[in-house]
Amino acid sequence: MWIGHLDLSSSLGIPGQFEHPDYIGAVDRIAKAASDNGKSLGRMAESAEEGAKLYARGHDFIAIGTDTQLYVNALRSELAALRAGCE
């Protein structure tokens, strides 16, 4: 089962509020349903830290970042290295 976290929070009327009790309760119910039915549970994480927290909460497959986010992060890192090398 895949949780579209922004879609879920928006459907609950609390877009982007991932710490809201209604969102957390919905995720807990989804996680229980997945576990009870022998299904994997997954979600997109924005960082390794968030991914580890999701894993601890029962998610067993985790995508990290979007392609654009990963490219931007890599570019920032390389530009910082270039700037440091040119000082």
Q: Is 64 exposed, middle or buried (0-12, 13-18, 19+ CB in 10 A)?
A: middle
Band of residue 65 on the pLDDT scale cut at 50, 70, 90: confident
Can you tell me the mean pLDDT for 35-39? Answer: 95
Average pLDDT, the chain: 93
d(CA 59, CA 45): 11
- pLDDT tens track for 46-63: 888 999 999 998 899 999
Can you tell me the mean pLDDT for 3-31? Answer: 96
d(CA 86, CA 68): 27
The domain spans of the chain are: 2-85
Residues 6 or more apart whose Cβ sits within 8 Å of residue 15: 6, 9
Give the count of alpha carbons within 13 A of 72, CB side only: 6
The model's pTM: 0.73
Give the model's pLDDT for residue 46.
85
